[in-house]
Amino acid sequence: MGNPFEGLRPALEVIAQEAKVLPATGQALEDLMRPDHAEVIDRLRSADDKAMDVLLETPNRKPYVELKPLHRTESHLLRFFLDGSARTFFLGDAVEGSRRTPIHVAQVGAAAVFRKNDGQVKVAKSVHKIVLMLDKKAVSFGDKVEDLVKKAGPSFGFHDTMEEDGETEKSSPGKEPRSRAAHKAHHIMAGEEEKLGRELQRDKGQWLVIDGSLGKDLHSWKDVPQFFGVTKSFSREPLFKLPGARGGQIVNLYDLLSNLPFSARTCAFSARSGKVVVWYVRLREQRHLDYPLMGVVKVEFPNPTGEAVPSERIDELSSVIVAERQATPHGKDIRWHAHLYAIYLAEQAVKTGFVSTEALKAGIRWPTQAAGALIR
């Protein structure tokens, strides 16, 4: 097998020729994000919905609705499951006079899996890219590096760490490029994920489940039928007005979910001016978990008309979601309690296509003596 990072050689050589490179210890160091990226993005996308006081379903007006799991053998609605992943590594700093930029390489990918009638799951479509990132305006050779990476082919990409994209600058505010790199990589991943999801060929009645909250710009999905998003890590900030006597009761998320029974859903709330309908589903009993918010997923359902969604439809989708918990990656993922197993398989399909950390460190090396960058 050849070096998967060979396409970056010309760009890294230019960086080493034009600037002094201070390499990361061990050649590459993985940059992680805290808190969970999915929760950060959900908080940003729901910033205008901190007070959810409008119910957008009919005819149900109960705060909680009990569900009977609807298994695949009874109703096989959910067929496609889409997820993405990103890993970001700090390679070092490029110093040009008094200017400096950190250099990052990221592996980003997305995969959709399809479940057959007999329950077997296969990869329907996947994409993987290797992305080089730096603060392009911080050095004089940024445009040249970008051009060289673009010439490397479609499996490679270049992104300016400090370029505004509507989310990265909010999820990781500030002017330090290194702190933004991992968030930028996840934003790039989300773009690949959405593109893949829109291009899937599905038969009528085959629903697509997307891991994570729906993007704010749903216009590009206007011709995509039957899909919704499921979020394992979500914003804790919203307040909810539950239906009831004397105008209802206002509760926070903790109260809403701590009272949510096992195998039940909340009522459905209006979000983003009615263009999205939101509700929560408890997949697992609280007595088996460490925290009341564990075992719960947030569902986002696109609603372009802005009209109330039939409660029967919400019940049906929630029931099949509950049935998806039966197989679980317990011990394989810290979010096992809120995973839909097929989503977990999609995520693993992405990660299986990534080059290992050891291979990355061996494939990208800054020499300690020579003036140029070598990729061995």
Look at residue 143 and tell me if it is in a domain: yes
pLDDT value for 289? 72
- Residue at 371 is within a domain: no
Show the domain range for 24: 6-363
pLDDT over threshold 50, residue 110: yes
pLDDT given for residue 75 in this prediction = 92
* 27: region left, alpha or beta (phi > 0 left; psi from -120 to 50 alpha): left
Report the C-alpha dihedral over residues 181, 184, 185, 188, rounded to 10 degrees.
Answer: -160
Distances (CA, A) of 216 to 12, 77, 213, 239, 311: 36, 25, 9, 20, 24
The mean pLDDT of the chain is 87
Side-chain half-sphere exposure of 2, counting CA atoms within 13 A: 4
Asked, for residue 189, whether it belongs to a domain, the answer is: yes
In a domain, 374, yes or no: no
* Mean pLDDT for the stretch of residues 20-43: 71
Does residue 321 lie in a domain region? Answer: yes
Is residue 376 a part of any domain in this protein? no
Stronger pLDDT, 166 or 163, i.e. the higher one: 163
Domain count for the chain, please give it. Answer: 1
Q: Do the domain assignments include residue 368?
A: no
- Domain for residue 372, yes or no? no
User: In this structure, is the dihedral angle defined by the CA atoms of residues 77, 125, 129 and 224, taken in order, positive or negative?
Assistant: negative
Residues 82-96 have a mean pLDDT of: 94
Which pLDDT band, with edges at 50, 70 and 90, does 248 fall under?
confident
